[in-house]
Amino acid sequence: MTTPFVVWFLAFFLSQTTGFVVLKPELSGKELVEYINSAQSLFVAELTELTDDEMRFKVMDEKFAEPRGDEQYLDGGEIIPEPLPDTFDARDNWPECKSIKLIRNQATCGSCWAFGAAEIISDRECIQSNATRQPIISVDDILSCCGETCGLGCDGGYTIEALRFWNHSGVVTGGDYGGDGCRPYPFTPCKKSPCAKSATPICEKKCQSGYETKYSSDKHFGSTSYYVTNTVGAIKTEIYHNGPVEASFKVYADFYQYKSGIYKYTGGKLVGGHAVKIIGWGNDNGVDYWLIANSWGTTFGEDGFFRMVRGTNECGIESNVVAGLANLGVNDVKDDDDGGAAGTCSLFVCFLSVLTLYLI
């Protein structure tokens, strides 16, 4: 009979001599942490304080992390075939864009798909405007108002649909819970376990009390949204030229134990899907990695950020990447449920208006 010690010793021996790690999906809790730290050296694990339920509350249904089959890729690597640096950090490349450095907190709602979208929209509008615009885009507006087209709210959603919502409907501003902007995030981080799951908020097309700008006038729009071709070169090129991208991947129990280093799946069961913001890449002791911002607050990982193995589609991180570009020329557009006046008119309508005034 094979004893637990023999299993552990074989796993440890293989990891140290060949780099091979025996995956242990059945482990959890303290046993999982001990196994992670003994079986590999890429990342350091620390026991999470989250319960099993709380772990599930922070992610979405795994189906939302998978490609849908309707992808129309934009291959940035073919569009701009030029050498890229070995390391890149969007925080350093665009230091004036404060949103790139910001770590937000989704609390106990599986709204990561809306967070990732709001984050890259904020970053890209700043980058495209040469830092003359620095909005913090509302997660709540995307989460509550995109509807069934986007998905299931706090149970998950499609990242590409969140960006398409930005294109055709526009999104207002709003920080984290209790923050500034038109529609701040409605959920406060739970500080005492056990924590209850948050329900998808109601779509309210109005700004919070005390915010002077009208809902319709606070809208920010995108001009296009697209899937980024699932190659390392295309993803790097997109980030290098246009800013951070949103990516989805499958989350296993060991990810919650991540403290520092370069994450690679080692053990624990599949929990769900997750969406995050990739802001750069690098190499540490010969291991290529993606530099990623999470939305679980600054106590997670490396001050809210983490690194993940790059080039092997780890947990699907390279197979469902989306991005978009801001439309800096559109604002103050009338919303049907808001009393604001439209800020634009067609050339034909404007011509008739001017002609009428002239004839009068």
Out of 145, 146, 274, 320, pick the active-site residue. Answer: 274
**Closest Cα partner for 292 from 346, 342, 255, 347?**
255
Instruction: Yes or no: say if 185 and 139 are a contact pair by the CB < 8 Å rule.
Output: yes
Catalytic-role residue among 97, 109, 112, 150: 112
On whether the CB atoms of residues 274 and 59 are closer than 8 A, the answer is yes
Residue at 225: amino acid letter = S
- In angstroms, the CA 94 to CA 36 distance is 35
Under DSSP, the state recorded for 246 is E
- Is 112 catalytic? The answer is yes
- Bridge partner residues of 250 (DSSP): 273
Could you tell me which of 158, 206, 154, 216 has the C-alpha nearest to residue 184? 206
In one-letter notation, the amino acid at residue 287 is V
Catalytic residue, from 230, 242, 294, 320: name it.
Answer: 294
**Closest residue by Cα to residue 205 from 146, 159, 160, 136:** 146
Question: From CA 185, how far away is CA 191, in angstroms rounded?
Answer: 17
274 catalytically annotated:
yes
**What residues are annotated to the active site?**
112, 274, 294
